[in-house]
Amino acid sequence: MPGGRRLLSSSANLWHENPLGLPKRPGSAPQIPRRNAPIQKRPIPNVKKVIAVASGKGGVGKSTVAVNLAFALAMRQSPDQRRLRVGLLDLDIFGPSVPKLMGLETAEEPRLTDEGAIMPITNHGLPCMSMGFLLPRSSPDAQSNTDTAVVWRGLMVQKAVQQLLFDVDWREQGGSGLDVLVLDMPPGTGDVPLTLGQLVVVDGAVIVSTPQDVALSDVRKGVSMFKKISVPITGILLNQSHFICPSCTTPHYLFGSPASFRATASQLGVDVLGELPLVPGVSESSDRGVPYMLTGENKEWLKVLEDAAESVLRQ
């Protein structure tokens, strides 16, 4: 069987050129350009289209949207009438959520190919990779590594992101790569999006927000950041837009009217991809590690993600 095992430590004394402890491979990841040097972006190996899901602010449901958008895309068909092959890459180094959302909290450490690349872990039929799969467990008796913290400075983070982008083998056993790779970005405008923008050809960015003005102010920063690093904006998506109680059909705007969100989109000149209602089942399903798209419940919620997936493919 291909692949050995490797040990990853989150301690600060790791050699920063290879923070994930991968074997040295030919054709290593590209280097971040020096100051004033031209930026030469490249595609991710074996990936046709790259979509980043981001937010300027944490806690808006970005990771939940990223996971479910990946499944919405995977349910679409290609022009040759086959289902799209979609992958999910969690680039949140310090707070990875994909293992929990994908039901992979207790997954074993990923194996390596004969060439030393990381093999994705698949659940619910969708391959994914996350820093959360690579961390050691806090003790031999621990069931998962959720208590393990990554304590790294910026350069270590940049190098880890490079390896996650370019040292994962997204080919399935038959040899075909991905039609779409969805990137779950960390909140904010720091090292990770900058590294991504400098090194990778990204086809589009989906910005997630909630209705509050404090979240919308960070949406503006997120859109500005992606424009600075020449990543096209697919559109912005409003999460937790409204709630419809079981006894009526009237939308209740628990976190404020969506008017400010729509006005922000108009001012920024970006498309509105949809407004996701607040559905208790989304949280419950996510806690079980089952993406809500797979449940078939709440048709309004599912339709918004399906339409967003269509917009992603049209870009």
Whole-angstrom Cα distance, residue 217 to residue 240?
A: 17
CA distances from 12 to 7, 17, 163 (A): 15, 13, 17
What's the token pair of residue 146?
Answer: 């959720």
Q: How high is the pLDDT of residue 163?
A: 92
Question: Going residue by residue through the chain (315 aa), what tens digit of pLDDT does each one get?
Answer: 455 555 454 444 445 678 887 777 766 566 666 666 666 789 999 999 999 999 988 889 999 999 999 999 999 987 777 889 999 999 999 989 999 999 999 888 899 998 889 999 999 999 999 999 988 876 677 777 777 788 788 888 888 999 999 999 999 866 789 999 999 999 888 889 989 988 999 999 999 999 999 999 999 999 999 998 889 999 999 999 989 887 777 888 888 889 999 999 999 999 999 999 999 999 999 999 999 999 988 899 999 999 999 999 997
- Find, among 59, 6, 74, 101, the residue nearest to 188 by Cα: 59
Return the domain boundaries, the chain: 47-314
Q: How high is the pLDDT of residue 13?
A: 46
Q: How high is the pLDDT of residue 166?
A: 94
Whole-angstrom Cα distance, residue 286 to residue 87?
A: 18
187 within 8 A of 56, measured Cβ to Cβ:
yes
Neighbouring residues of 32: CB distance < 8 A, sequence distance ≥ 6: 158, 162, 195, 198, 199
Computed from CA positions of residues 67, 102, 195, 145, in that sequence, does the dihedral angle turn out positive or negative?
Answer: positive
Bridge partners, residue 127, by sequence:
122
194 within 8 A of 227, measured Cβ to Cβ:
no
CA distances from 157 to 43, 53, 148, 171, 225 (A): 20, 19, 16, 25, 19
Give the SS3 label for residue 49.
strand
Strand order in the sheet with 272-275: 121-123, 126-130, 86-90, 178-184, 47-54, 204-209, 233-238, 272-275
Bridge partners, residue 182, by sequence:
51, 88
309 within 8 A of 73, measured Cβ to Cβ:
yes
Q: What fold, for 47-314?
A: Rossmann fold (3.40.50)
Place of tokens 């040899």: 175
Q: How high is the pLDDT of residue 143?
A: 73
Whole-angstrom Cα distance, residue 243 to residue 261?
A: 16
Q: What is the dihedral of CA 59, 189, 186, 110, to 10 degrees?
A: -170
Q: What is the CA radius of gyration of the chain?
A: 19
